[in-house]
Amino acid sequence: MRTKKYIFLLIALLFAGISIQVSATSQLPTNGKTDSIVSTTIGTQVAAADNSIQSEKTESIFESLTNFLKSTGFYKLTWKDLLMIFVACLLMYLAIVKKFEPLLLLPIAFGMLLTNLPGAGLFTPELYAGGHIDWKMFANSAGLLDYLYLGVKLGIYPCIIFIGVGAMTDFGPLLANPKSLLLGAAAQLGIFATYLGAIALGFLPNEAASIGIIGGADGPTAIFLTSKLAPELLGPIAVAAYSYMALVPVIQPPIMRALTTKKERGIKMKQLRTVSMKEKIIFPIVVTAFVSLLLPTAAPLIGSLMLGNLMKECGVVERLSKTVQNELMNITTIFLGITVGATATASAFLNLRTLEILSIGIIAFSVGTGGGVLLAKFMNLFIKNKINPLIGSAGVSAIPMAARVSQVVGQETDPSNFLLMHAMGPNVAGVIGSAVAAGIMLTMLS
């Protein structure tokens, strides 16, 4: 019975609570305004929240677009970068259309283009500040071209190029006419004369030596010496050296004609004797030993040059000889050209000193050309078998282009005069001479 009472009491309390709740609700307006107020309040809050979210999304998209635009190279592009890109395109035009030394000028020009694209991070000049490699910084921030540039900085690429040059060079004309070695040496006059002139203009001795080597018209030697003595000038000097090598047919003929008479240009030289294989094999070995003992600093270049030549002449490593003449030479030329071009940044290239280097470089080249011609004329005062002075201009190291120029200018006077093989003697001697000159500079200044 008590249980039933408690159940009824609980039910009564429940109904009483429901009645109170209904009564309280009935006190509210019954004309629909309550629903409207509640609905409006909720709608306002939802709309405000949507607007806030939409605003945040808009700001986020705008900020992302702004950050993207700021990260592009277009945002960071300056007039200096545009000017360097124009110079790079001009060099590519000369290489492709005019065929000025395209094998190296094209990679150099493209390397110049890559390094002057802002934000690409392919080359970091700060890693090589002061002429030394910052290895700690290198591990964290080096770009692709920084790794390839180590071959230039450590003197690897020029030496490999010299192995290929040696394998493609015939020292027979030099051995057949040893007097041509003097003509090759005389053509290096431009190097030392320019060295003194650059010092007079206010360049430091290391910089003056790097500028002077342009007079040898030997790109790998110029790169090798400059990377050791004045790496900050590598870009302008490399561009100058290879540009003037390409312009040999334009620069040399007026100088050759101005320093010789028509009679001298018409001198015919006797046919060269045949050089034996034994002489050709012994020559690179003897030259390597002698020059390296005399100038140890020249050993890398001379040794590489003579190794390539020995591979060619000995006849027992034909496969190696073909490899260094073709595949190895071509691969190294690509890496060398791109990385040398990468050093031609706007800050390093667009200044008064670069213009001075380009101006002094052409003077050095001209003096070297004239030096060989004048020595040939001087030698003719004392020898019976006269030398055509035109072959003296081939003493610069632009092989074989300088020898061809001697042939062309000679045939202008007498179409039956063939000077090419005679000019190859001073030409290959010039390659040795420029390497020796670089060794002398390194010995004096390093």
Does the structure show a pLDDT above 70 at 20?
A: no
Token pair 């060619």 is found at 312
Q: What distances in angstroms separate CA 322 from CA 284, 309, 326, 431, one per listed residue?
A: 18, 12, 6, 21
> In the chain, where are the structural domains located?
35-71, 85-445
Segment 108-135 mean pLDDT:
85
pLDDT of residue 25: 44
pLDDT of residue 14: 47
Highest mean predicted confidence (pLDDT) among 46-50, 108-112, 280-284: 280-284
Tell me the three state secondary structure of residue 380. coil
With helix as H, strand as E and coil as C, how does 93-131 read?
Answer: HHHHCCCCCHHHHHHHHHHHHHHCCCCCCCCCHHHHHHH
Q: For residue 394, what is the DSSP state?
A: G
d(CA 299, CA 138): 29
Of 328, 292, 400, which is closest to residue 163 (Cα–Cα)? 328
Highest mean predicted confidence (pLDDT) among 61-65, 75-79, 224-228, 242-246: 224-228
The mean pLDDT of the chain is: 85
Residue 89 makes CB contacts below 8 A (sequence gap 6+) with 109, 113
Q: What is the percentage of the chain residues whose pLDDT exceeds 70?
A: 86
Q: For residue 98, what is the DSSP state?
A: S
Segment 70-99 mean pLDDT:
88
Annotate 123-167 with DSSP letters as a single string.
--GGGGGGGS--HHHHHHH--HHHHHHHHHHTTHHHHHHHHHHHH
d(CA 424, CA 418): 12
d(CA 55, CA 58): 5
Reported confidence tier of residue 326, pLDDT bands at 50, 70, 90: very high
Does the structure show a pLDDT above 50 at 341?
A: yes
pLDDT of residue 18: 45
Segment 187-202 mean pLDDT:
89
pLDDT of residue 24: 43
Reported confidence tier of residue 173, pLDDT bands at 50, 70, 90: very high
Structure tokens at 228: 């050791």
pLDDT of residue 12: 52
Segment 94-114 mean pLDDT:
88
pLDDT of residue 319: 94
Work out the number of other CB atoms within 10 angstroms of the CB of residue 242. Answer: 26
d(CA 141, CA 16): 81
Answer with the residue of higher pLDDT: 60 or 189.
Answer: 189
| This prediction's pTM | 0.80
Reported confidence tier of residue 56, pLDDT bands at 50, 70, 90: low
pLDDT of residue 328: 94
Q: Which helix (H) or strand (E) holds 76?
A: helix 73-76
The residue type of 244 is: Y
Of 117, 373, 364, 359, which is closest to residue 261 (Cα–Cα)? 373
pLDDT of residue 44: 60
pLDDT of residue 53: 63
Segment 90-112 mean pLDDT:
89
Segment 274-299 mean pLDDT:
94
Does the structure show a pLDDT above 80 at 146?
A: yes
d(CA 87, CA 130): 26
Segment 50-62 mean pLDDT:
67
Polymer length in residues for the chain: 446
Does the structure show a pLDDT above 90 at 280?
A: yes
Segment 97-102 mean pLDDT:
84
Segment 245-271 mean pLDDT:
90
Structure tokens at 434: 């420029």
Rg (CA), the chain: 38
Segment 296-322 mean pLDDT:
95
Does the structure show a pLDDT above 50 at 379?
A: yes
Residue 305 makes CB contacts below 8 A (sequence gap 6+) with 162, 163, 165, 166, 169, 284, 431, 432, 435
Residue 3, classified by CB atoms within 10 Å of its CB into exposed (0-12), middle (13-18) or buried (19+), is exposed
CB 217 within 8 A of CB 252: no
Does the structure show a pLDDT above 80 at 421?
A: yes
pLDDT of residue 60: 79
Does the structure show a pLDDT above 50 at 22?
A: no
pLDDT of residue 137: 86
Does the structure show a pLDDT above 60 at 35?
A: no
d(CA 162, CA 306): 8
CB 284 within 8 A of CB 307: yes
Segment 338-364 mean pLDDT:
86
Segment 372-401 mean pLDDT:
91
Annotate 182-209 with DSSP letters as a single string.
HHHHHTTHHHHHHHHHHHHTT--HHHHH
Does the structure show a pLDDT above 80 at 23?
A: no
Reported confidence tier of residue 17, pLDDT bands at 50, 70, 90: very low
Segment 402-426 mean pLDDT:
92
Structure tokens at 272: 């060269």
Lowest mean pLDDT among 8-17, 73-82, 194-203, 320-329: 8-17
Segment 341-363 mean pLDDT:
86
